[in-house]
Amino acid sequence: MFQSIWADIKFEYSKKGNYLIRLILINIAVFLFLSICWFVSRFASFDIFSWLLHWVFSMPTPMPELMYRPWTFVITFFTHYDFFHILTNMLGLYWFGRIVEDLVGNKKLLALYLLGGLASSLLVIALYNTVPYFVNMPSTVVGASGAVFAIAVAAATLAPNYSLYLMLIGPVRIKYIVAVYIFLSLLGIAGSNAGGNVAHLGGTLFGFFYVAMLRNGNDLGKPVYWIMSWWEPKPKMKTTYRNKNTIKYTNESPDQDEIDRILDKINRSGYESLSKEEKQKLFKASQNQ
């Protein structure tokens, strides 16, 4: 059984461009590693779990401490040690990530996660080192919530009328779901999880800004694409010879003007208003992003 599960995981992770599943698997892998360390620490003389969580995986908010652990600025949004924390974050990542992936492509989804996570960490560090209210209560931050908020806000900005089915409630447009989460995060700034809620707002601001820039023709994710190109080289172009004078390129990108028109229609009337042909065009475009 375990061999079959491991084979399925390797297959999903190895799929080219399958960034959504990869991000979820990486988060789960870190969680399982820390969970094993926690279990071992219950029986060992040295608490390896607390040591790793404090020195390796948690981002400290005081700048002097962060300077000695700069890697935590990034690793924090891949880290969870509470089951319900990772469950809610990964469900949100999957639900909203699928929408973003369908609308603008898997590469932009990856850029939103990484850059949204960085933006959330940056806002936390900025406020906790400048605003007196936060300076007086230094803390540590873990979790992918900021990155997930960036993706959720991007999805709600791209397709505000897209509906998700909520248990006991039914279909709810994602613009309302995201608005409620943003409102709760604003209230939570004054609570016990102030750092986490500040991270939520950092991701919120970046998600909206990313889509706004994208609509103006500026893709903030280009540095991420360049870095990822080292891991996943571009596939060779396939050709089909119809006759000796005609060549059809089978992986041509869809017309950008048509894609922009479809995205505008989603913004006006929601994803459900698209025809089957328009959804197919959008899906094909996302595969070439």
For 158-217, write each residue's pLDDT tens digit.
989 888 888 878 888 999 999 999 999 999 998 888 999 999 999 999 999 999 999 888
Residues 158 and 61 in one domain: yes
Categorize the per-residue pLDDT at 114 as very low, low, confident or very high, splitting at 50, 70 and 90.
very high
Examine residue 234 and state whether it is found in any structural domain, yes or no.
Answer: no
Q: What is the mean pLDDT of residues 97-109?
A: 91
Examine residue 37 and state whether it is found in any structural domain, yes or no.
Answer: yes
Residues 126 and 150 in one domain: yes
Examine residue 237 and state whether it is found in any structural domain, yes or no.
Answer: no
Q: What is the mean pLDDT of residues 116-127?
A: 95
Residue-wise pLDDT for 48-90, tens only, equals 999 999 999 999 999 999 999 999 999 999 999 999 999 999 9
Residues 118 and 29 in one domain: yes
Q: What is the mean pLDDT of residues 125-151?
A: 91
Q: Which pair of tokens denotes residue 281?
A: 């065009």
- d(CA 212, CA 77) in angstroms, rounded, equals 24
Residues 251 and 194 in one domain: no
- What domain range includes position 50? 2-228
- Of 120, 121, 145, 286, catalytic: 145
Residue-wise pLDDT for 123-136, tens only, equals 999 999 999 888 88
- d(CA 34, CA 49) in angstroms, rounded, equals 6
Active site residue 120: no
Cβ contacts of 213 within 8 Å, gap of 6 or more: 219, 220
Residues 169 and 44 in one domain: yes
Residues 223 and 246 in one domain: no
Active site residue 200: yes
Three-class SS state of 283: helix
**Predicted pLDDT at 249:** 38
Residues 219 and 267 in one domain: no
Residue 160 main-chain phi, psi, to 5 deg: -60, -25
Categorize the per-residue pLDDT at 108 as very low, low, confident or very high, splitting at 50, 70 and 90.
very high
Examine residue 236 and state whether it is found in any structural domain, yes or no.
Answer: no
Burial of 249 (0-12, 13-18, 19+ CB in 10 A): exposed
**Predicted pLDDT at 63:** 92
In this predicted structure, the answer to whether residue 230 has a pLDDT above a threshold of 80 is no
Residues 196 and 279 in one domain: no
Cβ contacts of 267 within 8 Å, gap of 6 or more: 158, 159, 160
Q: What is the mean pLDDT of residues 97-111?
A: 92
Categorize the per-residue pLDDT at 258 as very low, low, confident or very high, splitting at 50, 70 and 90.
confident
Categorize the per-residue pLDDT at 91 as very low, low, confident or very high, splitting at 50, 70 and 90.
very high
**Predicted pLDDT at 239:** 47
Mean of pLDDT over the chain: 84
Strand partners, 249: 239
- Of 200, 229, 269, 273, catalytic: 200
The count of domains in the chain is 2
CA distances from 118 to 93, 164, 187, 258, 287 (A): 16, 27, 22, 33, 26
CA distances from 170 to 53, 87, 173 (A): 39, 21, 10
- d(CA 98, CA 288) in angstroms, rounded, equals 16
- Give the rounded percent of residues in the chain with a pLDDT score beyond 70: 80
Residue 150 main-chain phi, psi, to 5 deg: -60, -40
Distance of CA 74 to the CA centre of its chain: 13
In this predicted structure, the answer to whether residue 28 has a pLDDT above a threshold of 90 is yes
In this predicted structure, the answer to whether residue 256 has a pLDDT above a threshold of 90 is no
